[in-house]
């Protein structure tokens, strides 16, 4: 699915446009989130990646290399992959509209790239995958983005 520069360009320039094109009434092919909740979930992910939201490592240290190997692979996340931080329930929408949620997401994406532009060697901890550098975060965010695009019926165009 491309190299890190292509994945970063997708996240910066295309991802929010694809999300904006999803009909708000679209039901997910799996999971409990609606489109609005999924967009806010992705803002949450980018806030982890840009260092605004900090979490302790939840994965046992000895499992981190295996988790990072999966992260850097082209294997997608499984449908209904559990997230212990949010649990089994959906999180209520905090933005008044989907457009507000999209605007917030674009801000968090921009802030992610600004952090690594200012500190290219920064390491930010992900609660599941451990300490990640820029390339690893881009890989994770790209993989996570496509996981949720596919959840709502958007397919990759190569």
Report pLDDT digits (tens) over 23-53.
999 999 999 899 999 999 999 999 999 999 9
Question: Mean pLDDT, to the nearest integer, of 7-19?
Answer: 97
Spatial contact of 61 and 132, defined as CB atoms under 8 Å apart: no
The topology (CATH level 3) of 4-81+97-151 is 1.20.120
On whether the CB atoms of residues 154 and 22 are closer than 8 A, the answer is yes
- The neighbour count for residue 10, using CB atoms within 10 Å, is 19
Residue owning tokens 């802030």: 111
- Percent of all residues in the chain with a pLDDT value above 90, rounded to a whole number: 81
pLDDT tens digits, one per residue of 91-138:
778 989 999 999 999 999 999 999 999 999 999 999 999 999 999 999
User: By the 8 A CB rule, do 37 and 110 touch?
Assistant: no
pLDDT at 108: 98
Under 8 Å CB-to-CB from 52, ≥6 apart: which residues?
108, 111
Contact 67, 59 (CB under 8 A): yes
pLDDT of residue 86: 65
pLDDT recorded at residue 93: 85
Locate the domains of the chain by residue range: 4-81+97-151
CA distances from 21 to 9, 14, 34, 154 (A): 18, 11, 14, 9
Contact 90, 37 (CB under 8 A): yes
What integer pLDDT is reported at residue 107 of this predicted model?
A: 98
């Amino acid at each position: 699915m491309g190299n890190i520069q292509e994945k970063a360009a997708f996240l910066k320039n295309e991802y929010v446009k694809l999300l904006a094109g999803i009909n708000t009434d679209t039901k997910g092919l799996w999971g409990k989130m609606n489109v609005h909740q999924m967009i806010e979930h992705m803002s949450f992910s980018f806030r982890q990646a840009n260092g605004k939201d900090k979490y302790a490592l939840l994965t046992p240290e000895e499992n981190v290399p295996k988790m990072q190997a999966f992260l850097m692979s082209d294997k997608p996340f499984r449908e209904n992959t559990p997230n212990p931080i949010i649990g089994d329930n959906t999180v209520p929408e905090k933005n008044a509209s989907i457009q507000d949620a999209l605007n917030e997401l674009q801000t968090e994406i921009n802030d992610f790239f600004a952090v690594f532009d200012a500190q290219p060697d920064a390491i930010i901890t992900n609660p599941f995958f451990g300490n990640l550098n820029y390339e690893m975060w881009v890989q994770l965010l790209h993989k996570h983005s496509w996981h949720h695009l596919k959840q709502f019926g958007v397919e990759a165009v190569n």
